[in-house]
Chains A and B, each alone.
Chain A
Amino acid sequence: MTAQPTERWETVCSLEDIPRLGARRLERPGLLPIALFRGAGDAVHALVDRCPHKGGPLSQGIVFERGVACPLHNWTIAFADGCAAAPDVGCTPRVAVRRVGDAVQLDTGPAALAAPEGGPS
């Protein structure tokens, strides 16, 4: 099988650019800011860098095994689905991310997230 034509994987950094149990913020024109996380066991996750609560930058939060705690009001957002832990309600979009060796790649294809008009920069 060949890859879906809508996917376009781009290397955005190497694993070592992200601190262990930490995050980096990726800002590029035309895209929402994205938070890249390096979790336990060097797993890499990516979420739109906006907490569903008040828009806090998740990339600045404390990172643990299954999620990140937003630095503004401590909502916990799960990597698996981008959703806040109960009883808080809300989700931030996940972004497709993968590791190829040491390279961290994002899907920037047409199906991936483009900044909506008038959206946050």
Chain B
Amino acid sequence: MKPVERKPRLVLVGNGMAGVRTLEELLRLAPDLYEITVFGAEPHPNYNRILLSPVLAGEQTVEQIILNPRSWYEANGIRLHLGKAVIELDRVRRVVRAADGSEAGYERLLLATGSDPIMLPVPGADLAGVIAYRDIQDTETMIGAAACQRQAVVIGGGLLGLEAANGLSRRGMDVTVVHLMPGLMERQLDGTAATMLQRSLEQRGLRFRTGARTEALLGGADGRVAAVRLADGTELPAQLVVMAVGIRPNAGLAGRAGLHCNRGVVVNDTLQTITDPKIYAVGECANHRGVAYGLVAPLFEQAKVCASHLARHGIRRYAGSQVSTKLKVTGIDLFSAGDFQGGEDDEEIVLSDPAGGVYKKLVVRQDRLVGACLYGDTVDGAWYFSLMREGRPIGELREHLMFGESHIGDAGHQGLNRAQAMADGDEVCGCNGVSKGTICGTIRAKGLLTLEDVRRHTKASASCGSCTGLVEQLLMATAGADYSVAPTKKALCGCTDLTHDEVRQAIRTPDGAGGRLLSVAAVFAALDWRSPTGCASCRPAINYYLLSTWPREARDDPQSRFINERAHANIQKDGTYSVVPRMWGGETSASELRRIADVVDKYAIPTVKVTGGQRIDLLGVKKADLPGVWRDLGMPSGHAYAKALRTVKTCVGSEWCRFGTQDSTRMGQQLERALWRMYAPHKVKLAVSGCPRNCAESGIKDVGVIGVDSGWEIYVAGNGGIKTEVAQFLVKVATHEDVLEVAGAFLQLYREEGWYLERTVHYVARVGLDHVRKAVVDDKAARRALWERLQFAIELEPDPWHEPARAGIDLRQFQRLPA
């Protein structure tokens, strides 16, 4: 008999959000890898610590904030020790021992012991009735005190202290907050916002002593705390004192076991303790690059990385997090992130309306948003935070920045910026038709905590993203999660940790021996793709990057293209296809129209429709008929199905129009003939108008050209789609040749730098119009080189409809299987 192979043992010390989240991520990646044991010092299964404040305020119950009930541990085969604090870690025998003597051996150990509240070392701190605010027991003590005591003092006017004070006040106690600093929440708020917050809390009945130092806690005859004495001699009567002056990483166990600690267990970028690689640490007990995080979003990022190493995937790295803060006091909207104080060389954009209860401050440094402090209206917090994380140049956004994302060309959500005021039936996500009720219900039913999860489960904000702020507010209100932070570095897809830019760079750079990556399979092999054949996200992206980087050399892989680019027609909801032949500049002729009519009759095509791009769409064509339709039309492919140049829309121009100043039709045809067959990161649409009346709608195109008396104005990065975006002025030129060269150079720059599926509007927003102007307008030699590279790339491209062999089309797809 073969000996039964034993699974390696993984022990988690600390049954809180960071540790259990790591287990969840691990089980998703490698369900059967470990035999898992969990020790928790509290008698409860994992609960959402962030929601203790709503429990204290009486808005939720303890049962409602449980994240993983006991059945979850059972279902995953996890041995759970509750109410057992681990007091000893023996790294030689690889065993942990709890206070009651129970032991567990490990091959891998995960420390997630969280943090301890700091208790001020003042006389009387050990009196009965003096507590911290950290766990369910503290919360229950406070609820109990509120039922039979009258006065409470909260020491500490930070996030946690104010939430505790608010909760106690809501439960009927007289609460005074004692704060050492002159302003509340000084780590998150500037003076103005702090004053507004204090005033608003005072209106709710809280009292404040700011700039006040606690000297002693005084006991009463019953041995319980009776009052707080301040340094100025004031005595504040209190039967309950809550200390909320800060937390300190709980690294006692690790320190006693000889693991290097410095304000937390010191870990590296793979979340392994630097002393013992068998031991990992995540969450508030860990110190990563000098920072111990106390908010949930960074902990979840750590959990992801740690789980990938425990699962032996092992290529993720944690590089630290930016954090943002929200106060969880119902009715008070407050958000802050980044360097909200600002320095001498920074610019501040401020909107201050104290009477209206709104204050917003944005800090801008070198054309980038570096900090935000919002009070009263926080719907755009998520958007500001993402601008900060991405380090995007503000540029033209600047004048609208203060008014938020919903103000930028989007008509979908104006006037609907307060999630709490919405009814359950109100639609939040217009793209996917998701209502507030559905989102909140799913968050509750599935215990979702991050924006990413809400998107996966409900599709809300997963398409155009303009309702992201609303969805995050709902998440906040329902689950209490902090802003879930997408990693600063966004991986191309789940098959890799590399970003679009890193993959492009790898493709562009030959190896030491001069070898180049020229096929999708070669890229996957060279870059250690997790899945050997990729997925539906990365395969088309890599195929495009190869073809755009090494034209004429890279091998096109039709099986890595979406069906539309494989069949050279647009798939419809019933599995038939649509066919759009090219009409140069929107001009056609009697013989073309006759051929189209004959094709419609011959193949019994059910619908013929004029498109928005000045062409004719034949809808409902059977796949098997496509080659015949193409042949009989005798017109070039319109590429209406491809991430490529679509149309060049034109007005009639000076040839006929009594207002026309330029021959826009001819200009458009020249552009279309120069650029057709050009594949790109996404579809590309152009327009040419013959005068500033702009009948071809050049203002909402990837490249829009407008004729004026002295030449042509060129606009770029417009978009008429989900969000209407007006194109930005790039340059004015004199001749047709100049228009061709500037438009071509801009599009080649986009082809070389754009991420797959990124439209020009998003590409330019990411790199900044200045960058484009430098490469395409200021540097004439660079412009010429771009234009020549584009011509080299598309010169030999075949028309797929009429040269299918050269286009590498697998014609078998149009035939029946030979049985």
Contact = CB atoms under 8 A, between A and B. Distances in A.
A13 B819 contact: yes
Interface in B534-587: 534-536, 539-540, 558-563, 566-567, 571, 573, 575
A60 B567 contact: yes
A38 B816 CA distance: 17
A64 B819 contact: no
A17 interface: yes
Contact of A72 (B540, B573, B818): B573
A40 B520 CA distance: 14
Interface string B504-540: 0000000000000000000000000001111110011
B6 interface: no
A40 B817 contact: no
A43 B457 CA distance: 32
A28 B559 contact: no
Contact of A22 (B534, B559, B573, B818): B559
A66 B810 CA distance: 23
B812 interface: yes
B577 to A, nearest CB: 10
Interface in A61-120: 61-66, 69, 71-72, 74, 76, 87
A66 B495 CA distance: 13
B559 A60 contact: no
B456 interface: yes
A76 B534 CA distance: 13
B71 to A, nearest CB: 19
A66 B532 CA distance: 10
Contacts of A36: 817
A48 to B, nearest CB: 13
A12, A22, A27, A76, most chain B CB atoms within 10 A: A22
Given A20-B559, A71-B571, A64 B817 contact: no
Nearest to A27: B816
Contacts of A87: 456-457
B536 A56 contact: no
Given A22-B810, A71-B562, A57 B536 contact: no
Contact of A62 (B559, B575, B817): B559
Contacts of A62: 536, 539-540, 559-563
A30 interface: no
Contacts of B562: 62, 71
Interface residues of A, number: 31
B536 A76 contact: yes
Contacts of B567: 60
Contacts of B813: 24
Nearest to A74: B536
A60 B561 CA distance: 11
Interface in A1-58: 12-13, 17, 19-22, 24-28, 36, 39-40, 54, 56-57
B200 to A, nearest CB: 39
A42 B777 CA distance: 51
A61 B816 contact: no
B532, B536, B539, most chain A CB atoms within 10 A: B536
B142 to A, nearest CB: 38
Contacts of A40: 532-533
Contact of B817 (A24, A57, A76): A24
A72 to B, nearest CB: 7
Interface in B299-330: none
B533 A13 contact: no
A57 B812 contact: no
Contacts of A22: 558-559, 810
Contact of B536 (A26, A28, A69): A69
Nearest to B564: A71
Given A17-B818, A21-B559, A71-B562, A64 B812 contact: no
Given A62-B560, A74-B536, A19 B810 contact: yes
Contacts of A39: 533
B571 A60 contact: yes
B444 to A, nearest CB: 15
B816 A64 contact: no
Contacts of B540: 62
A76 B531 CA distance: 15
Contacts of B539: 62, 64
A28, A56, A60, A63, most chain B CB atoms within 10 A: A60
B815 to A, nearest CB: 9
A111 B6 CA distance: 41
Given A17-B812, A24-B817, A64 B531 contact: yes
Contacts of B560: 21, 62
A27, A36, A76, A87, most chain B CB atoms within 10 A: A87
B532 A57 contact: no
A21 B533 contact: yes
B447 to A, nearest CB: 13
A68 to B, nearest CB: 8
Contacts of A21: 533, 559-560
Given A12-B817, A17-B817, A40-B533, A54 B573 contact: yes
Nearest to A26: B817
A76 B457 CA distance: 15
B15 to A, nearest CB: 25
A71 B566 CA distance: 11
B573 A64 contact: no
Contacts of B457: 87
Contacts of B456: 87
B103 to A, nearest CB: 37
A28, A66, A72, A74, most chain B CB atoms within 10 A: A72
Given A17-B818, A56-B575, A74-B536, A63 B563 contact: no
Nearest to A24: B817
Contacts of B573: 54, 56, 72
B531 A13 contact: no
Contacts of B558: 19, 22
A36 B819 CA distance: 13
Nearest to B495: A64
A65 B535 CA distance: 8
B575 A64 contact: no
Contacts of A19: 558-559, 810, 812
A36 B571 CA distance: 19
A63 B813 CA distance: 15
B535 A69 contact: yes
A106 B563 CA distance: 25
A40 B810 CA distance: 19
B490 to A, nearest CB: 19
A104 to B, nearest CB: 9
A94 B533 CA distance: 22
B559 A61 contact: no
Contacts of A66: 531
A112 to B, nearest CB: 16
Nearest to B540: A62
A28 B810 CA distance: 22
Contacts of B533: 21, 39-40, 63-65
A90 B67 CA distance: 26
A67 B540 CA distance: 16
A50 B39 CA distance: 47
Interface of B: 456-457, 531-536, 539-540, 558-563, 566-567, 571, 573, 575, 810, 812-813, 816-819
Q: What 9 A-B pairs have minimum CB-CB distances, sorted nearest first? A: A69-B536, A60-B563, A71-B563, A62-B536, A65-B533, A64-B533, A21-B559, A57-B575, A87-B457
Given A40-B532, A66-B531, A71-B571, 4 more contacts: A19-B559, A22-B559, A56-B575, A87-B456
10 contacts: A17-B818, A19-B558, A20-B559, A21-B560, A25-B817, A27-B816, A62-B536, A64-B535, A65-B531, A65-B532
Interface of A: 12-13, 17, 19-22, 24-28, 36, 39-40, 54, 56-57, 60-66, 69, 71-72, 74, 76, 87
